[in-house]
Structure 1
């Protein structure tokens, strides 16, 4: 049986108010691997928007500290390697911004942590490790108290919050800075799904004349679909075919916890076509594997794909099946 774990796209880690923006960085790639040493063993996966504390750099790798909350019952005591806690949840445990708050990453089973606080069945933990420098970007402000965190306050990004369109012609876009998709009138109720970099993803409900609706042709290639749209409405795009221009990063093999793949299935790790859309995973069939092995990191490629899922269970990113490589 497959177990689903959903992650919000934009999340953050609360840290000490005394930190300066020079020490704070933000993960810009969904599913970025957090490792024990530079290019070493994988310990966790971090979501887009996770804030980390930089400690030192070593070439293309950066040592960072992550911090957050996990249920106390998921940690056992240990003295291994100078840490006092170890994650015991089979399949891993979600690290959260605050108790019952949004998830910022997945800590794998056996992940060693420093347990620094317990509160009402939750434990605050921290751990240092390594990420790629290419996965980090600077932040413009320090991590001060909640009242100074602007749009990143949890109350503003809580899923399900209801707002009202405040302009006579509120234009909704398919993705941040993407094409205009629909216009709603002032006073129209909208539901907040997430907030990211000055943009808010919302859901609008309404009624349309039945005779104006047509069934999408799933065998044709659909244009103008962003990775953000796939994540927002995964059921609507199941098995839809897309032709995208993406940036190839690496050819990897799926590990057991990636439950949207079979174990060992090869896949392309690539950047989505729209700015800010993060990563996509592209499963490679056997007949295209040799061609995929010839790709170079950061190479721009054209691909024909079919959507396997618009939002993966592990990290909430699109998983696509490769049909052709151009």
Structure 2
């Protein structure tokens, strides 16, 4: 028998349940609607507040509809303009639809799909009987049989991805030149996503004498200029450069800029200052705070990796930021 509000008469009132009717999924009690869920959608009830229940929602979403977020806890955001369907299994039945901008947590992934989790609130009258066996999508479908459901959960750090059993080739750009190969089960930091591609940051050590250097000990790539890489864009893709740039402004890439991810942040700069060629410097989401205080016309010593020597729209070099140093004492 249900108590008022649609919850079963268990002592705790917590556990697995299914929606008795189609219902809104809200960020807070009676707050912003972040999803619309279908009748029968499984949910895990984790709390109650008056006539609202707090629930954990899990399901699968298409990888291309998610991008890396800058939130410190929820690491992905729905990026499709019309939102995206949530499914019980990859290519399975639709559980509901999450709106654009909804933040979610990545649980795990399969090729083309990501299992996500989000906590929110539902009107209690729309929640069916609560059972005593918490079991949501990640615990009932595609789970490693060697893992015990009652054992301690292990979670990947937010913003990281694990390399599969066959390892992974790391490219300078999607379909670009090979830079390295990651060993199986390596944890790599994810700085951006587009479709099935993820941009990763890899840190490690290499034997210095094997690095090509000039006579004064500087890496040879410091002699390149933006004009050099623009003349032979394919030849210099993936090359690490170190340039003195004058910061102009911080921008977000429009969809027409096909060399960027849509809305990807970048710095508009000039090489060497006034009159020099323009350079676009992409900024990973986790480093936006570092560039927030930059002042127009100040100089930076930027180390980056060439994404392309000549962007399709303007022919301007694009480099991915690796590090930078402000030169406040220069005009």
Q: Do these two structures clear the TM 0.5 threshold for a shared fold by scoring above it?
A: no
Higher relative contact order (CA 8 A, sep 6+): 1
Question: TM-score, length-normalised on structure 1?
Answer: 0.37
Question: TM-score, length-normalised on structure 2?
Answer: 0.36
